[in-house]
Amino acid sequence: MSRKATMADPSSHSQQVQLFSHPWLERFTVITPVGFAITWAVLTPLLAWLAWGSATTMQAIGLGIGGLMFWAIFEYSLHRWAFHWKPKNKLMQSFVYIMHGNHHDVPNDPLRNLMPPIASIPITGSVWLVFLALFGIAGTWAFVGFIIGYIIYDMLHYACHQWPMKSRIWLPFKKHHMRHHYGAKDGNYAISALFLDTIMRSRVTSLKPAK
C-alpha cells in the first residue's frame, strides 16, 4: 500500500510512502534487513582489510574506539540538526522529507527503518575522508569503529519499530524512541547513546505531545 508523500500524522501501520513516481528510483529508497546485513557484512571486513598493517594493534583498537565514540555524537547531530532541519526553501524541504520526514509520516514501514546504501554510503563515506585526512590510511580503523556504531544504531532503530523489545535492557531504547515519534518529535534524538539527550537537554519523558 502506498500514498503520496505528505506530512500526515504518524501511522502505526506498515504502509509505504511513495517518494518517486519511477519504480526504479523508488527501489533505491528501501532496503530489507537481509540486504542491510549483506551490505555491511561485505563492506566492514573490506575496510578492515584495507587498514591492515597501517597501525599497531593498540593503535588500531584506540582508533576504533574513538571512531565508535564519534559515531554517538554524529548520530545525535545528524538526527537533530540535519534530519529535523526546517528549511524555508521548498527544494530543501523536499530533500529533508525524502531523507527523514517520510519516516515520521509512516514510522513503521519495515523497508525504511534501515538506511539504504544510497544514503548511508555517501554520508559515512564523507566521514571516512575526514579520518583519512587526519590520520592517513590508519584512519580507516577509526572508520571501522564508526561503522560498527552505525550498524548498532540502525539495527537498534529497526528493532524499536519492528520488535516488542520488552526486556529490561531493550525496553528503555524503545520507549525513548517512541516518545520521539508519538510524543514530541523535537526531542529524544539519540537512538543508541540515550545519555546525549540528557546532556543536550532534549530528553522527552512523556508520550503526551508537546503543545
Contact 29, 14 (CB under 8 A): no
What string of DSSP letters covers 113-154? Answer: SS--HHHHHHHHHHHHHHHHHHHGGGHHHHHHHHHHHHHHHH
| Euclidean distance between CA atoms 107 and 109, whole angstroms | 6
pLDDT tens-digit map of 114-147: 999 999 999 999 999 999 999 999 999 999 999 9
pTM of the entire predicted model: 0.90
- Helix, coil or strand: residue 2: strand
Ranges of each domain in the chain: 31-165
pLDDT tens-digit map of 141-163: 999 999 999 999 999 999 999 99
